[in-house]
Amino acid sequence: MTADGGAGGGGGGGAGAGRIGVGFAACHHGEILQGVFLDENDRPCAGLVTLPMQGPGTRAEFTPRPGSSPGQLTVFPADRTKALRAAALAIEECAALRGQAPFRGGELTLSGDVPLGLGMGSSSSDVIAAIRAVADAYGLRLPPATIARLAVRAERASDPLMLGGRPLLFAQREGRVLEVLGDALPPAVVVGCTLGGGSPVDTLSLPAPRHDHEDVRAYERLRSLLRRAVADADTALLGHVSTESARRAQRVREQREFGLLDRIAGRVGAVGLQIAHSGNVAGLLFDPAAPDLGHRLRRCVRALRTCGIPVTRTFATGTTGTISEEHLHGRAHVRRDRPARSDTSRRRAHLPALRDDEGRLGHGGGTAPARHRHRTTR
């Protein structure tokens, strides 16, 4: 895939010319809260609060090609068109900051282990990593607000992955923060799983949600409760907000397993559940201070497996942590080819699994689409 990289007229030149740039961006595990909220001017605005997750992510490498034909940018894998648009926009931005002509051409290569189409922010991870790689090639580090602006231009709506792991109410279609809710979500242990057989979701085909004044009031109430949950480190209140947000989302995109997941949460002592509003990834939330936590988690895994719901991974909230060097290289688990949509991988992969009390993997036979490996030849 190629794209116009901006104005022609010479290579980058100067600082950063010909330098290979590298960028990384993490993913998330769907949303804790998503709906419509009032901004600082009391204007209804679509917003979301994601559930951060360390580990999986996208690594981008951008190699400038100053001697190539004007405007020639390529991306590998070739279907990552959003990342390609982001790279072109980042080249224009960085060239202007440097006072240079944009690179004539370049090669963007993406690798990582973020499952595609499950609502984990795979396209935002691609886009943000691509922007950071281009900036690195120019010897720049763009501020998060600039990355957010470019990301929204590249993919129309972006997750706030450029802003770290703090709980933020983020206007995904405008690329701006509506509210910083605090430093970290309340502590919780999440048992991740996939619904709908783990099939990817074409987010562009989803109906646009319509909200009235009653919806705004309901979401503002959930926003207030989440603010309190963060301030008080109240895991139970976090679970309530997440469950109610997922319940309201059923009006737009009904998940047939929602009722089953809700009943399992009640039986195994979870404080609530969360479901990606634009994908099939989901999770059951547990209080890490609960008695017999290990027993509750094992019961949860068994219940999900018995119902045929694939279990993927467990992880903890409540820490902001930084991405270390070891996070740059995610392990890919490549499986057989499958049909793909634009911006959807043709590979499938197992996610890291939670083991039950008998040491068996908790996938239940399910798989999830994964990323292409990084191309090692030039």
Task: Answer with the residue of higher pLDDT: 166 or 70.
Answer: 166
Q: Read off the pLDDT of residues 330-373 as tens digits, 9 standing for 90 and up.
A: 222 223 333 333 443 333 333 333 343 333 333 333 334 444 44
Lowest mean pLDDT among 173-187, 198-212, 297-311: 198-212
Q: Kindly list the distances between the CA atom of residue 26 and the CA atoms of 67, 89, 155, 161, 328, in Å, as whole numbers in the listed order.
A: 33, 21, 17, 7, 9
What integer pLDDT is reported at residue 105 of this predicted model? Answer: 85
Q: How far apart are CA 118 and CA 203, in angstroms?
A: 10
Considering the chain, what percentage of its residues have pLDDT values greater than 90? 60
Q: Read off the pLDDT of residues 63-80 as tens digits, 9 standing for 90 and up.
A: 998 766 656 899 999 999
DSSP annotation of 355: B
DSSP annotation of 327: G
Query: Is residue 318's pLDDT more than 80?
Result: no
Q: How far apart are CA 286 and CA 235, in angstroms?
A: 8
Q: How far apart are CA 191 and CA 261, in angstroms?
A: 12
Q: At what angle do helices 144-155 and 122-137 cross, to 10 degrees?
A: 120
Task: Answer with the residue of higher pLDDT: 94 or 376.
Answer: 94
Query: Is residue 160's pLDDT more than 90?
Result: yes
Quickly state the pLDDT bin for 208 (edges 50, 70, 90): low
Structure tokens at 73: 């940018």
Structure tokens at 116: 């595609």
Cβ neighbours of residue 357 closer than 8 Å, sequence gap 6 or more: 298
Query: Is residue 61's pLDDT more than 80?
Result: yes
What integer pLDDT is reported at residue 116 of this predicted model? Answer: 81
Cβ neighbours of residue 325 closer than 8 Å, sequence gap 6 or more: none
Structure tokens at 20: 């290979």
Select from 133, 136, 87, 89 the least CA-distant residue to 112.
133
Q: Is 251 exposed, middle or buried (0-12, 13-18, 19+ CB in 10 A)?
A: exposed
Average pLDDT on 301-316 reads 93
Q: How far apart are CA 317 and CA 226, in angstroms?
A: 14
Lowest mean pLDDT among 66-70, 94-98, 105-109, 204-208: 204-208
| Mean of pLDDT over the chain | 79
Q: How far apart are CA 371 and CA 113, in angstroms?
A: 5
Query: Is residue 162's pLDDT more than 70?
Result: yes
Query: Is residue 255's pLDDT more than 90?
Result: no
Supply angle C-alpha 130, 148, 219, rounded to 5.
130
Lowest mean pLDDT among 10-24, 186-200, 224-238: 10-24
Query: Is residue 147's pLDDT more than 70?
Result: yes
Lowest mean pLDDT among 72-81, 187-196, 313-322: 313-322
What integer pLDDT is reported at residue 205 of this predicted model? Answer: 57
What integer pLDDT is reported at residue 327 of this predicted model? Answer: 25
